[in-house]
């Protein structure tokens, strides 16, 4: 599954948690209030929310099912969740023989469960969103992004830059990389492949660490500030190109490899953990907003030092 789709699922789960919490607080305040349509909505939305969380758990654990296994796993999870929610609904029904105090205890338990589910989902959502710029557009998760605790980068002014690596099963990664031209079919005739897919680095890491680590856009921003980069209107071989979102966040980094006679600029860049290509500046899925940067320093590589602590400030 893609990083974006997982993030969307978690957002659905978070909204479902809010609804469950509101409904159960209503039950606590008005134990005898019967609202059949709200009960049905709680049953449906609760099932969907928990299903979304189950999908995220399977994804971050790198468990993979295929074909009939995937169908059976999904059906099994869904049936379990439906049975669980149905049982809880029965326990809270005004027609149950349980006394009001036991209904209140069960309702408080459901409210607490909704709070816990919402909090956990929110943390997962923040974690997913914070890592989205490491893989860029269409970033997938056949593996897990892991902070690099043994090494860190240094700008010329000594600021520390967080580095990351990508932990993934080789077979899963190879299967994923073969699907590149399905995911980016619109660029099939616009790219010249320079190197096969490699999960050792992303676009930023290829430019600034020589392909050894993954880097975030916020780290690139600091490098631009402290390694004497300046925006230029006319790029030259050896300059870099920076692609930004509508809010100014850095999405993608590439290297200017040449300028043709008629003025066409040729960029070489690594697309997340996918292949590395030569392409025109506009032939990429990241952004239509880009600028060229030049620095008088020799090369773009930053210093990488061994870390004595994982407490970095990037």
pLDDT at residue 220, as a whole number: 95
* Distance set, CA 283 to CA 189, 265, 278 (Å): 10, 11, 10
pLDDT at residue 291, as a whole number: 96
pLDDT digits (tens, 9 = 90+) for 68-108: 665 666 667 667 766 776 666 666 555 544 444 556 666 67
Res 310 pLDDT > 50 = no
pLDDT at residue 22, as a whole number: 81
Tokens of 62: 């790198």
Least confident of 86-100, 119-133, 276-290: 86-100
User: 100 CB contacts (<8 Å, ≥6 apart)?
Assistant: 31, 32
pLDDT digits (tens, 9 = 90+) for 132-147: 667 766 555 577 788 8
Res 240 pLDDT > 50 = yes
Q: Are 255 and 268 in contact (CB under 8 A)?
A: yes
Helices (H) and strands (E) in the chain, counts: 8, 12
pLDDT at residue 247, as a whole number: 79
Q: Are 204 and 173 in contact (CB under 8 A)?
A: no
Q: Which candidate, 77, 71, 85, 80, places its Cα nearest to that of 55?
A: 77
Q: What's the whole-number average pLDDT of the chain?
A: 80
- 142 or 119, higher pLDDT: 119
pLDDT at residue 309, as a whole number: 53
Tokens of 127: 């974690």
Res 196 pLDDT > 60 = yes
pLDDT digits (tens, 9 = 90+) for 157-172: 999 999 999 888 888 8
pLDDT band at 47 (very low <50, low <70, confident <90, very high): confident
Domain ranges of the chain: 3-135, 147-306
pLDDT band at 34 (very low <50, low <70, confident <90, very high): low
């Amino acid at each position: 599954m893609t990083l974006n789709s997982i993030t969307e699922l978690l957002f659905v789960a978070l909204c479902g948690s809010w609804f469950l919490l509101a409904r159960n607080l209503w039950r606590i305040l008005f134990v005898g209030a019967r609202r059949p349509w709200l009960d049905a909505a709680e049953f449906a939305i609760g099932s969907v929310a928990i299903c979304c969380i189950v999908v995220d758990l399977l994804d971050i654990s790198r468990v993979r099912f295929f074909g009939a296994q995937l169908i059976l796993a999904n059906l099994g999870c869904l049936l379990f969740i439906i049975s669980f929610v149905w049982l809880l609904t029965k326990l809270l029904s005004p027609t149950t023989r349980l006394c009001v105090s036991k209904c209140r205890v069960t309702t408080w338990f459901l409210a607490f469960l909704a709070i816990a589910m919402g909090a956990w989902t929110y943390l997962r959502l923040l974690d997913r969103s914070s890592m989205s710029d490491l893989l860029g557009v269409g970033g997938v998760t056949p593996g897990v992004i892991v902070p690099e605790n043994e090494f860190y980068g240094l700008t010329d002014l000594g600021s520390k830059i967080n580095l990351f690596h990508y932990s993934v099963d080789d077979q899963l990664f190879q299967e994923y990389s073969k699907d590149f031209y399905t995911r980016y079919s619109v660029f099939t005739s616009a790219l010249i492949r320079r190197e096969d897919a490699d999960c050792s680095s992303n676009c930023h890491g290829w430019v600034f660490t020589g392909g050894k680590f993954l880097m975030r856009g916020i780290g690139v921003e600091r490098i631009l500030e402290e390694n004497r980069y300046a925006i230029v209107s006319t790029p030259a071989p050896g300059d870099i190109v920076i692609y930004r979102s509508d809010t100014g966040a850095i999405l993608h980094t590439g290297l200017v490899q040449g300028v043709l006679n008629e003025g066409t600029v040729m960029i070489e860049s690594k697309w997340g953990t996918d292949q590395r290509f030569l392409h025109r500046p506009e032939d990429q899925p990241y952004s239509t907003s880009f600028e060229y940067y030049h620095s008088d320093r020799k090369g773009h590589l930053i210093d990488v030092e061994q870390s004595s602590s994982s407490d970095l400030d990037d």
